[in-house]
């Protein structure tokens, strides 16, 4: 009996081992890190994209496999993110009137000829009232007008839908009906007095607030990332294609990480009338619609890194993938630019130069060194208007961070309070233009009747330096190596 029991016990242990091995886990349940999930064709395409995975995507797949080996415990506390985001477009323009029409082509720049009877106007009961080739929206205070008739806000716009829209809930005034518009084709064109934009198949809501039209589009997160990458990427055209693909893949992860970080921490924009996660300006990340024809290499970089984002070393928190055009001699901590220290845990300053090399990685940037000068009297007026400060005509008193960023500025030796460096730069650039004080890495001197700023870099200098990343790609660095260089405290992992 004893031998029989031992025999059956051995068989049971062997069976358990075979079962665990078949699952690829081993007896202790250790994960198999050699198996990386690569993007499938089903995930790869935006609307209108060519089917399949391009050569650029295949080129990046091996690097993605290395970066996607994630410890299972790293996934446990990560919040579930929405697949759709809300984006305010025309965020830099003050628009009180819009003409909306259906464009005639998709996947390329649309023609200037509207398509007859392609816009269908529906009431809140799903009844098509009429069909036209264009409509006109006007904001008067918080009131919204459709072709001169007041309607209840928001107006919902559904591109490329023939079916009646679903009635929206809520009591409706007889004087103001809630209306919807559908188009039979995509994209659609929005025309304003000083701006014109084309959009693809996104659901759009339009509000009136303070005499302005607020246009908010709902779109998939990855479509948004592709639109950001198309605008925010550095000038990669001078790179060979395979090297450009590596840089764009690194930039794609940085753009996605920035978006996800602020998505998980709550909306950056809130209003009691409407809310949205992002705007289409550099306040969040600049964006343009797919109808404006993204380069295929941009789409390939987005597809190859789909879902990949930066996290802290433990893998339990998403990290903001800050990036700027040109860092100076070193990248800096967020606290050196914006104050506060809560974001410093994600970053470590990086010398923008490889060991043993005399030149910095930003050497090809036109902003590696810059200079800006202005008449003293003009600058004195700026100090008075922007900060109610009396400049005494002496060189500015500048307090620098450990890595040379202007942290605080005084206009006079008698000033009791200093001005934060980033606030000084923001106000100056709003008054003089964003190509004036290119970064916080500047010195100040007086020459005759002028005040002269001499500096290095473009942008805040936190995280990835775009010109540096392109230089590393030029040296055949992979996108994963580029991310490790500029984000040494972070890891790249899949959502």
Assess whether 426 and 480 both reside in one domain: no
E-assigned strand segments in 280-376:
308-311, 323-324, 370-375
Mean predicted lDDT score pLDDT of the chain: 80
Indicate whether 31 belongs to any domain.
no
- 304 belongs to a structural domain: yes
Query: Cα dihedral angle (200, 299, 490, 347), rounded to 10 degrees?
Result: -70
Listed residue (69, 48, 44, 68) closest to 58, CA to CA: 44
The domain total for the chain is 3
* Residue 177 and residue 157 in one domain: yes
Residues 350 and 417 in one domain: yes
The pTM for the full model equals 0.79
Considering the domain architecture, whether residues 144 and 266 belong to the same structural domain is answered as: no
Are 230 and 146 in a shared domain? Answer: no
206 and 308 housed in the same domain: no
Are 449 and 475 contained in the same domain?
A: no
Structure tokens at 437: 């004080």
Give the span between the Cα atoms of 337 and 439, in whole angstroms: 10
Query: Considering the domain boundaries, does residue 6 fall inside one?
Result: no
Which residues are registered as beta bridge partners of 491?
A: 311
For residue 449, is it within any domain? yes
Q: Is residue 373 part of a domain?
A: yes
How many Å apart are CA 421 and CA 407, to the nearest integer?
A: 5
Q: Are residues 345 and 440 in the same domain?
A: yes
Lowest mean pLDDT of 36-45, 315-324, 364-373, 425-434, name the range.
36-45
Q: pLDDT at residue 14 above 90? A: no
Q: Among residues 162, 180, 210, which one ends one of the domains?
A: 210
pLDDT at 265: 64
| Residue 462 vs residue 263, higher pLDDT | 462
Does 182 fall in a domain?
yes
Q: Are residues 326 and 455 in the same domain?
A: yes
CB 280 within 8 A of CB 34: no
pLDDT one-digit tens code per residue, 450-488: 999 999 999 999 999 999 999 999 999 999 999 999 999
Q: Of 210, 237, 260, which marks where a domain is finished?
A: 210
pLDDT over 60 (residue 287): yes
One domain for residues 78 and 101: no
What is the arithmetic mean of pLDDT over 365-383? Answer: 96
Q: DSSP assignment of 161-206, as one string?
A: --SPPPPPPS---SSS-EEEEEESSS-EEEE-SS-EEEE-S-EEEE
- Domain of residue 477: give its range: 41-85+224-312+467-489
Q: What is the pLDDT of residue 79?
A: 53
Per-residue pLDDT of 106-131, as tens digits, reads 433 344 454 555 788 888 777 778 78
Measure the CA–CA gap between 149 and 136, rounded to whole angstroms.
Answer: 10
Which band of pLDDT confidence, cut at 50, 70 and 90, is reported for residue 95?
Answer: very high
pLDDT of the residue at 336: 95
Are residue 274 and residue 333 in the same domain, yes or no? no
Shared domain for 115 and 62, answered yes or no, is no
For residue 321, name the pLDDT band (cuts at 50, 70, 90). Answer: very high
413 belongs to a structural domain? yes
Residue 32 lies in a domain: no
Q: In the block, which residue shows the tokens 């410093």?
A: 344
Mean pLDDT, residues 209-228 taken together: 92
């Amino acid at each position: 009996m004893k031998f029989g029991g031992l025999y059956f016990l051995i068989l049971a242990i062997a069976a358990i081992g075979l079962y665990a091995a078949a699952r690829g886990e081993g007896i202790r349940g250790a994960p198999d890190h050699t198996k990386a999930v690569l993007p499938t064709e089903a995930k790869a395409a935006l609307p209108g994209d060519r089917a399949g995975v391009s050569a650029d995507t295949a080129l990046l797949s091996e690097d993605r496999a290395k970066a996607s080996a994630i410890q299972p415990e790293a996934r446990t506390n990560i919040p579930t993110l929405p697949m759709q985001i809300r984006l305010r477009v025309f965020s830099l323009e003050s628009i009180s009137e819009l003409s909306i029409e259906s464009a005639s082509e998709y996947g390329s720049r649309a023609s200037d000829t509207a398509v007859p009877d392609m816009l269908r106007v529906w009431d809140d009961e799903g009844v098509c009232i009429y069909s036209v080739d264009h409509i006109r929206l006007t904001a008067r205070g918080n009131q919204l007008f459709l072709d001169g008739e007041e309607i209840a806000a928001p107006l919902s716009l559904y591109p490329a839908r023939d079916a009646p829209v679903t009635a929206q809930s809520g009591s409706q005034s007889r004087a103001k009906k809630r209306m919807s518009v559908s188009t039979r084709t995509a994209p659609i064109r929005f025309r304003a007095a000083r701006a014109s934009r084309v959009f693809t198949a996104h659901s759009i809501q339009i509000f009136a607030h303070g005499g302005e039209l607020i246009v908010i589009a709902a779109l998939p997160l990855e479509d948004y990332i592709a639109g950001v990458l198309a605008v925010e990427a550095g000038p990669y055209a001078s790179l060979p294609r395979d090297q450009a693909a590596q840089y764009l893949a690194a930039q794609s992860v940085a753009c996605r990480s920035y978006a996800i970080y602020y998505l998980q921490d709550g909306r950056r924009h809130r209003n009691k009338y409407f809310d949205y996660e992002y705007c289409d300006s550099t306040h969040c990340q600049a964006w343009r619609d797919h109808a404006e024809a993204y380069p295929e290499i941009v789409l390939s970089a987005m597809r190859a890194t789909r879902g990949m984002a930066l996290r802290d070393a433990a893998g339990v928190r998403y990290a903001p993938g800050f990036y700027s055009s040109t860092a100076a001699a070193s990248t800096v901590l967020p606290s050196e630019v914006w104050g506060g220290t809560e974001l410093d845990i994600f970053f470590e300053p990086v010398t923008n130069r490889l060991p043993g090399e005399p030149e910095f990685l930003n050497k090809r940037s036109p902003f590696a060194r810059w200079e800006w000068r202005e008449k003293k009297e003009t600058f004195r007026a700026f100090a008075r208007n922007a900060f109610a400060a009396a400049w005494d005509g002496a060189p500015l008193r500048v307090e620098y961070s450990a890595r040379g960023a202007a942290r605080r500025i005084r206009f006079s030796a008698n000033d009791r309070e200093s001005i934060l460096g980033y606030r000084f730069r923001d106000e100056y650039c709003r008054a003089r233009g964003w190509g004036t004080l290119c970064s916080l890495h500047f010195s100040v001197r007086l020459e005759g009747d002028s005040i002269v700023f001499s500096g290095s870099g473009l942008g805040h200098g936190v995280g990835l330096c775009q010109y540096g990343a392109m230089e590393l790609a030029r040296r055949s660095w992979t996108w994963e190596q580029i991310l490790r260089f500029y984000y040494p405290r972070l890891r790249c992992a899949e959502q």
